[in-house]
Structure 1
Amino acid sequence: MGLALVAAQAGGILAPAHACGCGAVIPAAGQRVTVDREESLVRWDGRRQQTVLRLTVTGDAERAAWIMPVPSRATVRLGDPALFDALHALTAPVSRERYHFWPQDGDWPLVSGHDERSGPPPGGRGGRPVGVVGRQRLGPFEVARLTATDPGALDGWLERNGFALPPRLPDTLRPYVERRWEYVAVRLSPEHAGDRLDGDLDPLHLSFDAAEPVYPMRLSRLAPAPQSLGLYVLAAHRMEPASRIGGERPRVTYAGRVGDTSGPLGELAAGAPYLTAIGQEFPYPERISGDHLLRRAATDDPFRQVIHEDRLRTVAGVPVWLPTAAGALAAGVAAVSAFLVRRSRWPVGDYIP
């Protein structure tokens, strides 16, 4: 995600020590914060985009912050955590049994000494350099909505207001400033003094006008370690990224229409009923060349991941290959024995030199 996430306190900021899908994580002196998972959904109806994102964090940091560029004036509210539960249930891979005849690793007699299986995967519009168009408190979030005409001034405002971000941030923000984007700056702080940021944070729901659906990625260039993108897209049709933007080939992990119109997912799917789940890896974040522009795919063909559970074919608990192999061996032994018996009865002729 195009977010720069930091842990902040008065003691100062250290160099980047960890990376996540939302950008570079910078722990404060003596504190630690790790983003274990980031989930995002983009909903686009042809005119307006909604983005819902949720972070799962661990650590002992009391505060953290991030900034998200948006192409136009955004409204921000808390999202419904049940949305992601519904997305998980709908897009989960299906399991199917697949039988094989000959034993494979893990089948008798090729039983290995360990189990290697793992779990499931899955710009400013005014004359001021920086303008504050709104502030609000949403649960654990302090949200400021900003405009900017100068990336250095934006970086300075963020630093003065407790958003201590990576030193390369002004250069990374410059393309957004030149295109007159706006910014949602978010500080996370527990609602009770002494609490630590830990576990699933409340989702944030952003809404703004957009000529085309876009997922900001430029700020992830600041991450010092490989990045992983997981994105849900709701639209009228199946969607796909327009390019790789410096990462590996994007892969579709789910595509299909949302049939259930109840709950938070059903509400968002009204008018945008087709859900596409997209995954992508960025082994070298510094190569990220821009933001993900999303476009309609060539077809609306549905897709769902299938996880095959390989099983050895048996009859009454006995592997089929065992009697088959035993029978073949017995037949071979009988054939060799018959050949040797016939050969022993051949007459021995006189040898003529």
Structure 2
Amino acid sequence: MRGTHTTTTRILTTLFALLALQLGSLVAPAWACGCGAMVTRPEERIGVDQEQSAVHWDGRTETIVMRFRVHGNARQAAWIMPVPRRADVTLGDPGLFDAIEELAAPEERERSYFWPREDDWPFDSGRGDAASVGAAPGGSVGVVGRERLGPFDVARLTATDPDALGDWLHANGFRLPDRLTPELRPYVDRRWEYVAVRLAPEQKDVPLYGELTPLRITFASSELVYPMRLSRLAETRQTLDLSILAAHRMEPRSPIGGEHPEVTFSGRIDRPEGPVAALAGDAPVHLTVLRQRFPEPSRIDDDHVLRTVADTPYRQVIHRERLLTVAGIPAWILTAAAGAAVIAALTVFLTVRANRRRRVPSAA
């Protein structure tokens, strides 16, 4: 028992080296890093401006496509993502996220208002326009695969050989952290595996900046799961944007410590095309787009497990409000002018009538 405890501790400690600078290296992270953790060298800094994730699940196999937009002065970085089974990793299609955004775009409707507001004449005061708003056999497999994919050095790892994993870490210049090791224990206990990715651009002196090439990770799974537990390491508010392609509408079983997940789109795609078809196939599929905020990331207590719900369609509606006009003239001005004209006419009529009465001679 003592030897088993020691081995488990070594596994957790070595694995967590991939998270060495999760808190110290990220510059104001704002997006939930479902990937696990973004780390870099001690003297460099990297921040994740945005993470986009699209998931396809057919009941047996799950594919996650992830893209990051980063900033900072890091010339190399790496991240780790826990997965329940052995994973295949390839490059993703950057056009996928634009295609999903187009499919889930809000419906725009115009709504008129009658009375002028502060940005309308005569209240604008000439200010101008306002701004728009699987377990390893024998328990001893370490590095089970390694590929070079564009700017990525991808290693597929197990949690059962700390020595092999430690060698990988040392070869890539990462130092061992001295805290937060317990965050990986649930994954080790469940015998999950790991996808470790090192971003190493060909131009070594150029910092990582902007949108990175998406990565596509595929693994067997009898349920739709999105790893989120490691996001509890963040120190600032987190936001998760997740697009799901499946047979039916999918929603998280629980908020896992965040605000209630908001569905921003739900609808059937009868004929998937382009990058969406490349991910989900050309058969009809249901697209669900979720957004969830985590005001206190430390309260995240699990990974997201999603369940099938009723296929209720939903699309956001954005109202573009404008001042009601008639032939280009504000309706309130026309109404006011008409009212003034009526009052003026009535005043004239009553005045004339009164004058006529005064002129009528009285009877003898």
Deviation string 1:20-70 (CA, Å, 9 cap, x unpaired) is: 321665664553322222111111001110111111222321101110000
Deviation string 1:270-291 (CA, Å, 9 cap, x unpaired) is: 2561111111111110011111
Corresponding residue of 2:286: 274
Alignment partners' CA distance in 2, 1:195 and 1:225: 27
Structure 1 window deviating more from structure 2 (179-188 vs 318-327): it is 318-327
> Which amino acid counterpart does residue 286 of structure 1 have in structure 2?
S
Give the fraction of aligned pairs with identical amino acids, expressed as a percent. Answer: 52
Corresponding residue of 1:350: none
Tell me: CA distance 1:222–1:208, structure 2 relative to 1, closer, same or farther (3 Å). Answer: same
What SS does the corresponding residue of 1:234 show, helix, strand or coil? strand
1:117 aligns with 2:132: yes
Corresponding residue of 2:274: 263
Corresponding residue of 2:68: 55
Alignment partners' CA distance in 2, 1:153 and 1:102: 73
Deviation at 1:109, TM superposition (A): 2.2
Tell me: CA distance 1:319–1:165, structure 2 relative to 1, closer, same or farther (3 Å). Answer: farther
1:84 aligns with 2:94: no
TM (norm. structure 2) is 0.79
- Equivalent runs, 1:192-211 vs 2, <5 Å: 192-211=203-222
Paired residues of 1:71 and 1:210 also in contact (CA < 8 A): yes
What SS does the corresponding residue of 1:243 show, helix, strand or coil? coil
Deviation at 1:217, TM superposition (A): 0.5
Paired residues of 1:25 and 1:223 also in contact (CA < 8 A): no
Tell me: CA distance 1:106–1:275, structure 2 relative to 1, closer, same or farther (3 Å). Answer: same
Paired residues of 2:90 and 2:149 also in contact (CA < 8 A): yes
Corresponding residue of 2:13: none
Corresponding residue of 1:289: 301
What SS does the corresponding residue of 1:279 show, helix, strand or coil? strand
1:75 aligns with 2:88: yes
Paired residues of 2:41 and 2:76 also in contact (CA < 8 A): no
Among 96, 113, 116, the alignment partner of 2:109 is 96
Alignment partners' CA distance in 2, 1:169 and 1:311: 53
Deviation at 1:156, TM superposition (A): 5.2
What SS does the corresponding residue of 1:42 show, helix, strand or coil? strand
Q: Which has the higher helix share?
A: 2
Deviation string 1:67-107 (CA, Å, 9 cap, x unpaired) is: 00001111111111121221122122232211111222322
> How many residues end up aligned between the 2 structures?
330
Alignment partners' CA distance in 1, 2:25 and 2:20: 11
Deviation at 1:303, TM superposition (A): 1.5
Alignment partners' CA distance in 2, 1:229 and 1:129: 35
> Which amino acid counterpart does residue 283 of structure 1 have in structure 2?
P
1:316 aligns with 2:327: yes
Paired residues of 2:270 and 2:284 also in contact (CA < 8 A): no
- Equivalent runs, 1:167-178 vs 2, <5 Å: 167-178=178-189
Two-structure CA RMSD over aligned residues (Å): 3.3
What SS does the corresponding residue of 1:133 show, helix, strand or coil? strand
Corresponding residue of 2:258: 247
Tell me: CA distance 1:306–1:153, structure 2 relative to 1, closer, same or farther (3 Å). Answer: farther
Alignment partners' CA distance in 2, 1:130 and 1:332: 93
Deviation at 1:199, TM superposition (A): 2.0
**Structure 1 residue ranges without an equivalent (≥5):** 346-353
Deviation string 1:152-208 (CA, Å, 9 cap, x unpaired) is: 889856743535576544211111111111110111111233232122211111111
> Which amino acid counterpart does residue 118 of structure 2 have in structure 1?
D
Tell me: CA distance 1:335–1:32, structure 2 relative to 1, closer, same or farther (3 Å). Answer: farther
Paired residues of 2:91 and 2:215 also in contact (CA < 8 A): yes
Alignment partners' CA distance in 1, 2:338 and 2:57: 64
